[in-house]
């Protein structure tokens, strides 16, 4: 009889995970998913009040987590904060923002604000966590919550699309460089997910109709749709996956 293969474990027991942008939405969902898989989770965000509420909700669900004040726009401060911490085996960066508007009307200040959060902050957070892993001689999984807009264009989203396309680019390059260290680097590309930050889009009937028409499965996304993808990319179940985007877009980019 042949030896049967066994599915690699999705468990994360004994691993440390950092989730940035963890106080709500996809970031909070990622923190829950990692904690459910047994990881020791550090939840990072800028806003202390919302972060404390998220930590309390986690604790009430039997999912302990540690809060961490972190502003990715302040790269020097972020580096200093993480320098004194043990290395993280898993990073999920869900921190980001958008200021949508016509490309003809983009102001320099808005461009810089979105770029600092979505690109500059994401790049240097991945670099900082990877440096810790390399110094410790440990493998790891670095995940950035990108977007379907990292692969296509969108109305009033020129700056946002620019940052997400750039995230997809540095993910591929980092995966090539850090592969020899056993560090995997991937993105998750959600479609429109219902969160407090996206509610303004769904409140606009014209925009909601545009979104629903583009999603082949016929519905917008929920935070829960992202959680399995996070567990997969963080765990040994994806041990040979790096430098790629896991699309959770309901078929938006299939065209």
- When pLDDT is averaged across residues 160-177 and rounded to a whole number, the result is 98
Closest listed residue to residue 43, CA positions, set 84, 77, 76, 90: 90
**pLDDT for residue 28:** 97
- When pLDDT is averaged across residues 242-250 and rounded to a whole number, the result is 98
Strand order in the sheet with 90-93: 65-69, 40-45, 16-20, 90-93, 140-145, 183-190, 245-248
> Catalytic: 160?
yes
Percentage above 70 pLDDT, the chain: 100
User: Which residue is catalytic, options 18, 41, 157, 160?
Assistant: 160
CATH class of the domain defined by 16-247 = alpha beta
Angle at the Cα of 185 (from 139 to 61), degrees rounded to 5?
A: 80
Residue extents of the structural domains in the chain: 16-247
How does the average pLDDT of the chain come out, rounded? 95
**pLDDT for residue 196:** 76
- When pLDDT is averaged across residues 212-228 and rounded to a whole number, the result is 94
């Amino acid at each position: 009889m042949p030896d049967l293969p066994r599915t690699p474990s999705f468990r994360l027991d004994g691993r440390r995970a950092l989730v940035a942008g963890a106080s709500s939405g996809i970031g909070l969902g990622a923190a829950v998913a990692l904690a459910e898989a047994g990881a020791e989770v550090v939840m990072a965000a800028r806003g202390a009040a919302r972060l404390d509420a998220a930590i309390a909700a986690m604790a009430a669900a039997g999912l302990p987590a540690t809060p961490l004040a972190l502003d990715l726009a302040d790269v020097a401060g972020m580096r200093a904060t993480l320098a004194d911490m043990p290395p993280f085996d898993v990073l999920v960066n869900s921190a980001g923002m958008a200021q949508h508007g016509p490309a003809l009307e983009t102001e320099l200040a808005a461009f810089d604000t979105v770029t600092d959060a979505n690109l500059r902050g994401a790049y240097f957070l991945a670099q900082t966590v990877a440096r810790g892993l390399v110094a410790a001689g440990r493998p790891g999984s670095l995940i950035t919550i990108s977007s379907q807009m990292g692969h296509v264009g969108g109305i009033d989203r020129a700056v946002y699309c620019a940052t997400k396309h750039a995230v997809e680019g540095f993910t591929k390059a980092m995966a090539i460089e850090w592969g020899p260290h056993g560090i995997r680097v991937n993105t998750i590309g959600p479609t429109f997910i219902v969160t407090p930050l996206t509610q303004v889009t769904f409140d606009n009937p014209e925009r909601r109709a545009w979104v629903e028409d583009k999603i082949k499965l016929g519905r917008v996304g929920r935070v829960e749709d992202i959680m399995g993808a996070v567990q997969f990319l963080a765990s040994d179940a994806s041990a040979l996956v790096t430098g790629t985007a896991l699309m959770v877009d309901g078929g938006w980019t299939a065209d």
